[in-house]
Amino acid sequence: MTNTSSGDPLAISARNLTLTLGSNAAPTEILRGIDLDIAKGEVVALLGPSGSGKSSLMAVLSGLERATGGGLTVAGADFSGMDEDGLAHARRGRIGIVLQAFHLLPTMTATENVATPMELAGSDDAQPRAKAELEAVGLGHRTDHYPTQLSGGEQQRVAIARAIAPRPELIFADEPTGNLDVSTGEEIVKLLFERRAETGATLLVITHDKSLAQKCERVLTMADGVIVSDTKNAKTAAA
Ligand SMILES: Nc1ncnc2c1ncn2[C@@H]1O[C@H](COP(=O)(O)OP(=O)(O)O)[C@@H](O)[C@H]1O
Ligand SMILES: [Mg+2]
């Protein structure tokens, strides 16, 4: 565990977090009281059956979605007191997100996909930083390619470069190997862990893959909108 930053040693602190969606007449409780502390630099896997609320929890912890109730502090910012604009601002540069379906912008090259979030955050050297990060994920020869010209594994490398290039404090990955074959998935996990270790970021990764979970320091399991187990792995590749 790396507590290199000063101040709060916690990357995430959630208290009785709830998320209720749907109409007032027919509300659906998606998250039903999440209590969770994650230390800075920790590498955590999130497991659980489909529909248990993993993606919803990630959406709330990463500021993509507002919780309905409870307290939430992420990277030192009080997310529970913020509106959507506040959350969008707080996310910028602090939080990197990697999704199963890559979500690259089809009209932009690999470099532009990586550089654009940094440009929006006010960086004046976004292009060279994007190129350097694409080099680091092994795509130095694909920087001017468009997403449709790249394989699934290559697109996920671009997505990892985009998430990591701004040097976020936190990285969230939602089934990052879900759309990839087994050996490409293994390469992507290796790369994600290498780049994470390089930057010391906190990582929360949603997965169904037990071997990926074993590489993490800590494993959370969700069922029906709550965390039902929280265990530490004795020895991990992430440390
Ligand atoms: N926008 C929504 N409105 C209503 N229910 C939703 C919405 N999004 C997700 N759900 C429901 O929330 C539950 C948790 O979903 P999700 O967080 O995607 O689970 P997981 O990622 O573990 O598969 C599911 O029952 C799903 O149907
Ligand atoms: Mg999901």
Q: Taking a C-beta distance cutoff of 8 angstroms, is the pair 116, 105 a contact?
A: yes
Across residues 55-84, what is the average pLDDT? Answer: 95
22 C-alpha to ligand 1 centroid (Å): 11
The confidence score (pLDDT) of residue 237 equals 57
With the most atoms of ligand 1 within 8 angstroms of its CB, the residue from 19, 20, 23, 28 to mutate is 28
Identity of the amino acid at 196:
R
In a domain, 2, yes or no: no
CA neighbor of 67 nearest in space, from 82, 77, 86, 54: 82
Domain that holds residue 122: 41-64+83-232
Per residue in 190-227, pLDDT (tens digit) is: 999 999 999 999 999 999 999 999 999 999 999 999 99
The confidence score (pLDDT) of residue 238 equals 59
Q: Is the pLDDT of residue 23 over 70?
A: yes
Count of structural domains within the chain: 1
Across residues 162-166, what is the average pLDDT? Answer: 95
CA neighbor of 45 nearest in space, from 195, 191, 189, 225: 189
In a domain, 128, yes or no: yes
* CATH number, domain with residue 185: 3.40.50.300
102 C-alpha to ligand 2 centroid (Å): 14
In a domain, 16, yes or no: no
In a domain, 5, yes or no: no
Per residue in 32-42, pLDDT (tens digit) is: 999 999 999 99
With the most atoms of ligand 1 within 8 angstroms of its CB, the residue from 21, 24, 30, 55 to mutate is 30
User: Which helix (DSSP H) or strand (DSSP E) does residue 155 occupy?
Assistant: helix 152-164
Q: What is the DSSP string of 54-91?
A: HHHHHHHHTTSS--SEEEEEETTEEGGG--HHHHHHHH
In a domain, 194, yes or no: yes
User: Which helix (DSSP H) or strand (DSSP E) does residue 170 occupy?
Assistant: strand 170-174
Across residues 3-23, what is the average pLDDT? Answer: 84
In a domain, 186, yes or no: yes
* pTM recorded for the entire structure: 0.92
In a domain, 124, yes or no: yes
